[in-house]
Copies of this chain bind each other. A is one copy, B any other.
Amino acid sequence: MKVIKTIEELRPIIKAWRKEGQSVGLVPTMGYLHEGHKSLIVKAAAENDRVVVSDFVNPTQFGVNEDLASYPRDIARDARVCEEAGADLIFHPEPEEMYFRDSCTFVNMGKLTEGLCGKTRPTHFQGVCTVVCKLFHIVAPDKAYFGQKDAQQLAVIRRMVRDLNFDIEIVGCPIVREEDGLAMSSRNTYLDDAERAAALILHKSLMLGKEMIGQGEHDAAKIKEAIMQNIKSEPLARIDYVEIVNPDTMENVDTVEGAALIAMAVYIGKTRLIDNIVIVNDKNKCRLL
């Protein structure tokens, strides 16, 4: 697997592909790739002539007290995953390659970034939007692939692409889960055995929400309250947020009609995990999207 470290090396490779009329898919990641990432790369490889995986732990999307230093990294393993999944190259820059010391330009978004993860992590989405904007300019892909696991990020990127007229199609891909329901995450590696067992409470309480809606409960406040009570039954869990929102605008909904996103962030010990489901509730039929 070719691992490219600089923008200067990457651009001519992509331009040569373009010149041959080949389409390019981009899978932006922070590395430590798991089955969720792999599903994005496989999809990108199926839909494009060429696939670039960016593998960059972006410092600007971490807050000062967050886990930037401890975030897991393993480029050798990532290269094997990319190889298997059908990527053409990994773009793996150092932070100094991506940011000048006097960088002062940022992409900011209002509204969609104010609640959910944006409330707890106030500079996070500025970091995400700015680095994704940069990666889009560096790689110039036709399509870019993001996981539904980061539901707010996916909505934010879609909005950025719309508002700033990027000529790029954003493809959202379903959450990949462990057999017992835990959503795949690079941060799962932080969990000890007891925490790993406790972490199931996220998916279980999302399923509780789905069940309530399936049984005819449409009052978002009641569903949210039941989910929160369920999470609180797990001693190792501490709720950051549970919200029921419109999946495109991230605005709270009072009543679950049409599509609704149930999203949560929960600390299991010191590890902050996120998970979500999108419920489509049409004409008394309730299904997961």
Contact = CB atoms under 8 A, between A and B. Distances in A.
Interface residues of A, number: 30
A159 B111 contact: no
Contacts of A134: 164-165
A67 interface: no
Contacts of A129: 105
A96 interface: no
A11 interface: yes
A130 B133 CA distance: 12
A285 to B, nearest CB: 29
A12 to B, nearest CB: 11
Nearest to A126: B108
Contacts of A111: 102, 104
A7 to B, nearest CB: 7
Contacts of A162: 100
B137 A103 contact: no
A140 interface: yes
B100 A104 contact: no
A71 interface: no
A216 B108 CA distance: 46
Contacts of A133: 164
Nearest to A249: B102
Given A138-B165, A164-B137, A167-B11, A159 B108 contact: no
Interface of A: 7, 11, 100, 102-112, 129-130, 133-134, 137-138, 140, 159-160, 162-167, 249
